[in-house]
Structure 1
């Protein structure tokens, strides 16, 4: 069950990479300097949170491969990982929200608001999973296993949220926003590191 849970969660880092991965589109004249400044304020917040989310995914995968860990250790590890994911997405949402709408971009305010809404929704979902894991009965192996199964089921819904969030970020990054992000060294550093490899179930 731990491996299935890890597999369900393995896509958690995808959204951050989606934000930082658009570094190919550039043009000679370059985007508006105000938009470049906007992109910098967003990108500067990405690497630390990206690392936090990837580390949480890696910790889940590592825990899933160790069948000798006591239930309390498994519970505490997953709880911390969910908390880190929640904090990471919340911080990125705050960075995008605090930056305001991308200057000079058609429909930029709506695209920005959609991205923030999706990221905050993911943060809340992972916070809910953390609370759910905190309540697992570690003294009863049967109840603990069932509880993990329920958590794994919840992650499927979060996976759908993750897909929606990725699409919202892609919409935000279209056009000159993409070009402005491409100029940011902090986003390029984050984009160069691939997301955590999915853990295999079985």
Structure 2
């Protein structure tokens, strides 16, 4: 069951980051400067999320005890929460992007990133609260968390997707530090 959690976390966490980083659309020195400010802060957080994904995957492999899985998942959720909080701060500190509705775009993106951070903090609390003494109950708890993560990934990208349109999206696309994978991970059906 933790393997599904690992795949779900990987797909959901990466989705929101890719939504912010895989931008397309215009030109303009002001937009480039704004994008550079955001993108320079993006890469360390992407790496942090990828490391958290790897920790969950590692914990799901082999014959780990529920306590080991719980500890790894809890730490990973905290890391992802912290990474999204840092991304929110980066977008907020960059100021309003120099495009139409820039203030609204920034506000929406910051709100969405903070909500993602809060949601992953909630996932950490949920994992911490699981009873590791009953393996069946623990596995059911992980299944519930995986379902919450899937819903989170489906809802987390709406406001961020606005950043990848038009001039601002093109400016972000020109930044090496915003270059990301060309496709998002998919979440396979439960086996």
What TM-score do the two structures reach when normalised by structure 1?
A: 0.84
1:51, distance to aligned residue in structure 2 (A): 0.9
Instruction: Please say if residues 75 and 133 of structure 1, whose CA atoms lie closer than 8 Å, have aligned partners that are also in contact.
Output: yes
Cα distance change, pair 193–88 in 1 and its aligned pair in 2 (3 A): farther
Choose 1 or 2 for highest CA Rg. Answer: 1
Q: Show the counterpart of 1:134.
A: 128
Q: Any unmatched runs of 5+ in structure 2?
A: none
TM-score (norm 2): 0.88
Q: Distance in 2 between matches of 1:88 and 1:194?
A: 21
Query: How far did 1:178 drift?
Result: 1.7
Alpha-carbon distance in structure 2 between the residues aligned to 1:180 and 1:6: 33
The whole-number CA distance in structure 1 between the counterparts of 2:141 and 2:133 is 12
Which residue of the partner structure matches residue 22 of structure 1? 23
Extract unaligned runs of 5+ from structure 1: none
CA deviation string 1:7-62 (max 9, x = no partner): 33231112212222226x56xxx41x222211111000111101111221222223
Q: What is the number of equivalent residue pairs in this alignment?
A: 190
Give the match for residue 67 of structure 2: 72
Root-mean-square deviation over aligned CA pairs: 2.2
Look up the SS of the partner of 1:13 in the other structure: helix
Aligned counterpart, 2:80? 85
